[in-house]
Amino acid sequence: MEIADPTSPSLRVLLADSHQTQRQWLASALRRRPELHVTACECEGDGIVGAAFSARADVAIMNVAHPGAGWPDMSIVRRLHLARPELAKIVLLDLYDPDLIVNAFRSGAHGLFCLADSPLRMLYKCIHSVHRGEIWASHQQLLCLLERVSQVPSLRMIYANGSSVLTPR
């Protein structure tokens, strides 16, 4: 276990998760690290933005999957990014869908983390790395992202009036 450097400044972490049990467990685990000052809140639009300002957070960790929703809501990440662009944002993921990975980074996340695939000590490293301005993603997530970015969209040539330049043939 790493020992915190007493000369290093503490990090203010905002933990936003709509799953109360997971939020309490994760907040408790993060608070064991003396260099982390954790504020926990429910993951909802106005609440998380207000909490980010009032807690003067350095890093926000968000579980954007709402109970029963089935699909993560990246609009919360985007709203927080627009309100606090300097805030380092980490999104907790349960699945590796290519669209989800791309949308997380497009929405302003600097880190993606899956608790099911990585031990908790890696989350501490993720927090510190993202706070330093680094990007945190697994090898699989980066490959997914690179594959999406490298896909070339098909070009469609049209006249100024909107009709197609090329015939179907």
Give the containing element (helix H, strand E) for 52: helix 45-54
Kindly report the CATH class assigned to 11-150: alpha beta
Residues whose CB falls within 8 Å of the CB of residue 151, separated by 6 or more in sequence, listed in order = none
Indicate yes or no: pTM above 0.85: no
Query: Could you report the per-residue pLDDT of 113-167, keeping only the tens digit for each?
Result: 988 888 999 999 999 999 999 999 999 899 988 888 887 666 666 666 666 666 6
The residue ranking higher by pLDDT, 129 or 95, is: 129
> Which residues, in sequence order, are CB contacts of 164 under 8 Å at separation 6+?
156, 157, 158
